Structure 1
Amino acid sequence: MLNKSSRPDTDKQRQRAASRLVVLALCVAVAAAALAELRRWSSDRSEARSPARIETAAKGDVRLTKLADDLIPMPAGVPSAHASTLAALPGGALMAFWWAGSRESGPDVKVYSSRLEKGVWSATREVATRESLGQALGFGIRRIGNPVAWTDRNGKVHLYVTTTGLGGWAASRIVHLVSTDQGDNFGVLRVLPMSPMFNTSVLIRTTPVALVDGGWWLPAYFELGIKYPILMAFDDKGDPRWLTRIGTRTTTLQPALAATSGTEAHAWMRDAGNEHKVQHAISHDAGASWADQPPLEMGNHSSSVAAYRLTHGGMLMLNNHVRPGDSARNVLRLSHSNDAASWKQVLDVVQGNNDEEFSYPALQQIGDELHITYTSRRQAIGHQVYRISYESSQ
């Protein structure tokens, strides 16, 4: 029999348990509503837009010769940097964007950029802050997260930035900014319409995919109670057209996309489940629907991957390979595939001690050069350049 002094504690425990059930029920309801809205939006579109035409694949394996290995300049007095993204500019220049501040989710986190021209990175520029985004949108921004960049065929640079108001990352929204002067200045265009709950609970991380009509796919993911990957298709003017879910799993996020033809495309996802492998899905109808595939035989312990279709054929993927006894993010491995099914290790871009992090990579081809950026020890953004060539497999 309980004594009287224990009853208040018991009542508090019951209240806390009831509160948890209410929160859980709310999360389930919101996730169900988001899925219903996603199905409705997907069914409303008239047709899927095909990925950009793929040139004939080069025969044999890719060979990469290192040309440069450096760090992108950091803003003065800012100790932490993460989540870089790349955008090729007309004329062969390259822009990198990333967030930096005192720590992840810190109130001083901002999006910065630097431009690479003739092998030299420019001084760091401030692109987006809580204050600048909040002023443009008309409501407060609490946190800034991952950016994603894309240059359309007219030379406009589109920058998508993850932001939150109240709550954590599960309450995030995607803000769409545009530059008409090759990244010198950006203006806020819209909050992307990606979920029925005030367009929240959606995040981004990886590079878009070009479409044959001049539009593009923006990979994204939903995260509230469950996690699942999605993509939003844009037309050649940069306006959102339709949205679809990638596969049926509820423990995958941060999809990296690549097309193998005008109708076939692949998505590789970060694994938030128990398999700890790169998860895989495929579309045979230009992104309209996606089927889950068995995971790749590549380790992935809760970290973002990057994928890229080379101009003359073949695909590259960067993932955090895990050695026995190591942490999940201290080896960044590059692999190559000609068929999106079998992958061959090319090289380890960077590897460090067990307490070091090299993660969240981005890939961009300019001519016969491959540019790779990645988070370096959470202190800076690393950058490597490789000459691309092919060797016969015979």
Structure 2
Amino acid sequence: MFNEITNEWIMGPDKPFASCHASSLVMLPGGDILAVWFAGSREGADDSAIWCSRKPGGNSGGNWSQPLKIAAGVEEPCWNPVLMNLPGGELLLFYKIGRLIKEWRTLYKISKDKGRSWSEAKELVPGDRGGRGPVRNKVVVLADGTWIAPASTEDGIWTSFADRSQDQGMTWQQSEDIGIAGIHRSDIQAVKSDIPVSEQSFYGRGVIQPSVWESKPGNVHMLMRSSEGFIHRSDSQDGGIHWSAAYPTSVPNNNSGMDVVRMDDGTLVLCCNPVGINWGPRSPLVLMVSSDNGLTWTQEIVLEDGEGEFSYPAIIAHEDRIYLTYTWKRDNIAYREFSRSSK
């Protein structure tokens, strides 16, 4: 169904940091691809900042630019950048900041020159603690113009929610929490794992880091990372205001991030680690497809299946192509591009 066009790393061996993770990407007007991620000495370290790189598109093609630091905290780590194209050609960057995940603040910057320079950072929702706006995956614009930012909080019991904006990001309305019934704080025990995440992440159960799509006007759906062995799902019939309780899909999940995109004909493409072990291996990394709005999935392509961490994919679609980035062993950000075959 898909033919590979590009398989490359964004950075060479002289990158200016030891560890990188959690990428996001957009296609800019003219065809350039811009990617962002956080990087520093390790996840959660105070030197973790937001970096970006650009790949020329159109007829020129070309190599990725040298990584450029575009946001940093003052003795606080940055996390989970998300890019969004704005009407009129501006570019929006969301990211989290703070040592404690449960007390994250969401900041944003705007670029008027396709990511070459950025405004000063501002709080998305002034005074918020916990993290509003997109927690990791892309914002989706619904048929009626509403923005849906897939969000979640981590404070023992993990829950997801939709952050909605009907004025192009000026104000935000938070939906009710979306969680898994029957999980109580007394049930939560710290998990042992070699995954190099912040230690606070190992103490929590539930669903986080949604990825969202709209199947028809007003009908919105999300897939969520979970601690329970399977990707979970929730559905809304009123444009993301109200949501069903989270329920398991048939796709295994290792409590690691995934992302889904809807192509023009309604085909869903999901990138994930189909490993049904809480905090299990982050390999293999695969592409899966669904032609029935996510009711059933088939494995299409194995992107990585070696030892090490291949995780936190970000995926977008344009016409008959898909573009994705993901963490490659915390050492680099991988970039892949596929075209859809006619058969």
Compute the TM-score of the two structures, normalised by the length of structure 2: 0.85
Residue 181 of structure 1 is aligned with which of 101, 113, 117? 113
Residue 247 of structure 1 is aligned with which of 162, 178, 190? 178
**2:102 aligned counterpart, secondary structure:** helix
Aligned residue in 2 for 1:351: 305
Measure the CA separation in 1 of the matches of 2:73 and 2:282: 29
Measure the CA separation in 1 of the matches of 2:238 and 2:145: 18
Measure the CA separation in 2 of the matches of 1:95 and 1:312: 25
Structure possessing the higher radius of gyration over alpha carbons: 1
**Structure having the larger proportion of residues in helix:** 1
- Provide closer, same or farther for how the CA distance between residues 347 and 373 of structure 1 changes in structure 2, counting only shifts above 3 A: same
**1:364 aligned counterpart, secondary structure:** strand
Measure the CA separation in 2 of the matches of 1:161 and 1:286: 24
Aligned AA for 1:349?
Answer: L
Aligned residue in 2 for 1:271: 226
Residue 150 of structure 2 is aligned with which of 219, 222, 235? 219
Partners of 1:304 and 1:361 within 8 A in 2 = yes
Aligned AA for 2:259?
Answer: A
Measure the CA separation in 2 of the matches of 1:246 and 1:64: 36
C-alpha RMSD of matched pairs (Å): 2.1
- Provide closer, same or farther for how the CA distance between residues 266 and 323 of structure 1 changes in structure 2, counting only shifts above 3 A: closer
Residue 153 of structure 1 is aligned with which of 87, 107, 110? 87
- Provide closer, same or farther for how the CA distance between residues 172 and 89 of structure 1 changes in structure 2, counting only shifts above 3 A: same
- Structure 1 position 328, deviation (Å): 2.1
Q: Output one character per residue of 1:59-84: Cα deviation in whole Å (capped at 9) or x when no partner.
A: xxxx1000110000266331211000
Aligned residue in 1 for 2:10: 72
Given the alignment of the two structures, is residue 342 of structure 1 paired with residue 296 of structure 2, yes or no? yes
Aligned residue in 1 for 2:46: 107
Residue pairs, 1:85-104, within 5 angstroms: 85-104=24-43
**1:170 aligned counterpart, secondary structure:** helix
- Structure 1 position 390, deviation (Å): 4.3
Residue 374 of structure 1 is aligned with which of 326, 331, 334? 326
Aligned residue in 2 for 1:230: 161
Q: Percent identity?
A: 27
- Provide closer, same or farther for how the CA distance between residues 291 and 271 of structure 1 changes in structure 2, counting only shifts above 3 A: same
Residue pairs, 1:22-37, within 5 angstroms: none
Aligned residue in 1 for 2:239: 286
Aligned residue in 2 for 1:262: 217
Aligned residues: 310
**2:4 aligned counterpart, secondary structure:** strand
Given the alignment of the two structures, is residue 143 of structure 1 paired with residue 82 of structure 2, yes or no? no
Partners of 2:15 and 2:67 within 8 A in 1 = no
Given the alignment of the two structures, is residue 322 of structure 1 paired with residue 254 of structure 2, yes or no? no
Partners of 1:78 and 1:101 within 8 A in 2 = yes
- Structure 1 position 236, deviation (Å): 5.0
Q: Output one character per residue of 1:131-154: Cα deviation in whole Å (capped at 9) or x when no partner.
A: 4xxxxxxxxx51111111111222
Given the alignment of the two structures, is residue 84 of structure 1 paired with residue 38 of structure 2, yes or no? no
- Structure 1 position 213, deviation (Å): 4.5
Measure the CA separation in 2 of the matches of 1:247 and 1:102: 34
Partners of 1:270 and 1:303 within 8 A in 2 = yes
**1:219 aligned counterpart, secondary structure:** strand
- Deviating more after overlay: 209-218 vs 301-310: 209-218
Aligned AA for 1:363?
Answer: I
Aligned AA for 2:41?
Answer: S
Compute the TM-score of the two structures, normalised by the length of structure 1: 0.74
Partners of 1:85 and 1:96 within 8 A in 2 = yes
Measure the CA separation in 2 of the matches of 1:299 and 1:191: 35
Partners of 1:153 and 1:214 within 8 A in 2 = no
- Structure 1 position 299, deviation (Å): 1.2
Partners of 1:152 and 1:215 within 8 A in 2 = no
Q: Output one character per residue of 1:339-393: Cα deviation in whole Å (capped at 9) or x when no partner.
A: 221111111111112xx000000001233221111000110000111011343xx
Query: Any stretches of 5+ residues in structure 1 without a counterpart?
Result: 1-62, 132-140
Q: Output one character per residue of 1:250-301: Cα deviation in whole Å (capped at 9) or x when no partner.
A: 61100111111112111111112xx310011111111111113531111111
- Provide closer, same or farther for how the CA distance between residues 153 and 388 of structure 1 changes in structure 2, counting only shifts above 3 A: farther
**1:188 aligned counterpart, secondary structure:** coil
Q: Output one character per residue of 1:85-136: Cα deviation in whole Å (capped at 9) or x when no partner.
A: 01221122211000111111112211111111133222221110114xxxxx
Aligned AA for 1:112?
Answer: W
Residue 130 of structure 2 is aligned with which of 184, 195, 201? 201
